[in-house]
Amino acid sequence: MLEEVPMPWDWPVEVNYHEAKAFCEWKSQQLGKNIRLPTEDEWYRLYAVSDLDPHLPSPEQANIELKYGTSSCPVDHFKQGDFYDIQGNVWQWTETPIYPFQGFQVHPFYDDFSTPTFDGRHNLMKGGSWISAGNEALYSSRYAFRRHFFQHVGFRYVASDQALQHFPSNYESDQLVSQYLEFQYGTEYFGVTNFAKTLVHLAQPYFQRTPCHRALDIGCATGRASFELAHYFNQVTGLDFSARFIQQAVYLAQGDRVRYQLPLE
Averaged pLDDT score across all residues of the chain:
92
What pLDDT, in 10s, does the model give residues 231-244? Answer: 999 999 999 988 88
Superfamily of domain 174-254: Vaccinia Virus protein VP39 (3.40.50.150)
Superfamily of domain 17-159: paralog of FGE (formylglycine-generating enzyme) (3.90.1580.10)
Rounded to 5 degrees, what angle do the CA atoms 241, 264, 122 make?
45
pLDDT of residue 252: 95
CA distance 146 to 238: 28
pLDDT of residue 170: 66
Pick the more confident residue, 132 or 260: 132
Report yes or no: 131 and 69 within 8 Å, Cβ to Cβ.
Answer: no
Question: What is the residue extent of each domain of the chain?
Answer: 17-159, 174-254
Amino acid symbol at 222: T
Nearest Cα residue to 56 out of 143, 124, 135: 135
CA distance 232 to 24: 58
Computed over its alpha carbons, how large is the radius of gyration of the chain? 25
Could you check whether 17-159 and 174-254 share the same CATH topology?
no
What pLDDT, in 10s, does the model give residues 159-208? Answer: 999 888 888 776 667 888 898 999 999 888 777 889 999 999 999 999 88
- pTM to 2 decimals? 0.75
Q: Report how far apart, in Å, the C-alpha atoms of 113 and of each of 90, 105, 110, 195 are.
A: 23, 11, 6, 32
Pick the more confident residue, 133 or 112: 133
Nearest Cα residue to 18 out of 117, 174, 114, 146: 146
